[in-house]
Amino acid sequence: MENRVKMLVRGALLLSLAVIVQQLRLILPLPTLITTLLIGTVVNAALVLAARFTGLFTAVAMCLALPIIAFLQGQLPLVFLIPIVFIGNFILVILCNKWWVKPVFLIAPIAKTSAMYLGAVMLFNIFAVNTPMAKFILIAMSWPQLLTAFFGILLARFLEKRLSL
């Protein structure tokens, strides 16, 4: 029982950290690209650490909670993007949970980015969305996701060695 409580507390702390970091966009006076890279890296690191140290259930719950919270905070502009972000985060979490070897640095970010980009393209085609916002979202679902997932895994590896989890 004590171990389950410990894992739940870890998950709650990582989720809290990710939610707070997502909110920093509103107060950091930095260009959008820089805040995206910083915040995305920390959020992805929190997801990876959750996958490694809280159990798969908690990590998957974070995968779902974070895009919902981002939408409620106004950072995810369309509600139908919530499942797309969830799927991308889910892929990252599953790969990092089950396969913690060096190729995960490349495979997990590529898989996450591919799922998010292709999912957004499919949804925009289904709903016939062809606006400047759609083009901006597609860019946001492409290479920034690749970079933030890669750097998030690196940060998680760095922190994993220093934390007594």
Q: Which domains does the chain have, with CATH numbers?
A: 2-162 (1.10.1760)
Give the pLDDT confidence score for residue 164 in this predicted structure.
67
Specify the residue for token string 């946001």: 140
Give the pLDDT confidence score for residue 25 in this predicted structure.
84
Please state the separation of Cα 153 from the chain's center in Å: 11
pLDDT tens-place string over residues 84-143: 999 999 999 999 998 888 788 899 999 999 999 999 999 999 988 888 989 999 999 999
pLDDT tens-place string over residues 43-90: 999 999 999 999 899 999 999 999 999 999 988 999 999 999 999 999
Write out the two tokens for 156: 């998680």
CA separation for the pair 163, 78 (Å, rounded): 36
CA separation for the pair 146, 148 (Å, rounded): 6
Spatial CB neighbours of 57, under 8 Å, sequence gap ≥ 6: none
